[in-house]
A and B are shown apart, each in its own frame.
Chain A
Amino acid sequence: DAGITQSPRHKVTETGTPVTLRCHQTENHRYMYWYRQDPGHGLRLIHYSYGVKDTDKGEVSDGYSVSRSKTEDFLLTLESATSSQTSVYFCATRDTTYSNTGELFFGEGSRLTVL
């Protein structure tokens, strides 16, 4: 299993405060992703990265920013959290070294509650 660690695993915050979620991987995978999972919506892609300092938007990127200054770390920032951003956030990685059909490896999720 790819070593993917998300932190914090649980966070409660207030509307308007900034929040940063961290994803750390130990597998040197090139691609990293942030998803959110909400009842009735499945998994929705927020942002992804295809290398250090290379990122692109997903389908629900408004209100979120990301940064990737090192291969192993991918940060998701909510500049000013809103109640609609209450969700479970998953980080995922993908290896492209040996195969272009590679699956995603997921972290265990970060549950964010915005009051």
Chain B
Amino acid sequence: GNSVTQMEGPVTLSEEAFLTINCTYTATGYPSLFWYVQYPGEGLQLLLKATKADDKGSNKGFEATYRKETTSFHLEKGSVQVSDSAVYFCALRVPNAGKSTFGDGTTLTVKP
């Protein structure tokens, strides 16, 4: 079956630090890969996505590259802000599948 493994949290960083949240996956076929973010008290929202190998998704200074050879989709940001404090979920969906598969989420706290 399909699965997503995320770096365990929580992660605490100082403002302007470099962020990496690791995500690896197992899937049949060629999935689309997603990062969702959940701010406190809110629902999840799409942060970025990539639909094929070597694609790079980017948004709000965050980036992730679809690495088929290592089955990974690590999330990075060069300089985090306090406002980036949230829970980050890595997810995949195989084409023509009704369901998505989510990782367990990684809680990021950024301190001033």
- Where the two chains meet, the residues of A that have a C-beta atom closer than 8 Å to any C-beta of B are 4, 31, 33, 40-43, 45, 48, 50, 56, 58, 90, 92, 100-101, 103-109
Using Cβ atoms and an 8 Å threshold, which residues of chain A touch B100? 104
CA distance A48 to B93 in the complex (A): 14
In the bound complex, what is the Cα–Cα distance between A21 and B78 (angstroms)? 41
How many inter-chain contacts with C-beta < 8 Å in the A-B complex?
A: 49
Nearest CB in chain A: distance from B60 CB, A: 15
B44 CB-CB contact with A under 8 Å: yes
Bound-state CA distance A85–B91 (Å) is 24
Give the nearest-CB partner of A99 in chain B.
Answer: B51
- Fill in one digit per residue for B27-58: 1 if any A CB lies within 8 Å of its CB, else 0: 00000101010000011111001010000000
Chain B residue nearest to A103 in the complex (CB): B46
Q: Please tell me which one of the listed residues A40, A45, A90 contacts residue B99 in the complex, with CB atoms under 8 A apart.
A: A45
Known: A42-B89, A101-B32. A48 touches B43 (CB 8 A): no
Residues of A within 8 A of B103 (CB): 42
Interface centre among A50, A56, A101, A107 (most CB of B within 10 A): A101
Q: Choose from A31, A41, A45, A90 the contact partner of B43 (Cβ within 8 Å).
A: A90
14 additional A-B residue pairs with CB within 8 Å, beyond A43-B89, A43-B102, A103-B36: A41-B104, A42-B89, A42-B103, A42-B105, A43-B44, A50-B98, A92-B44, A100-B95, A101-B95, A103-B46, A103-B49, A106-B36, A106-B43, A106-B44
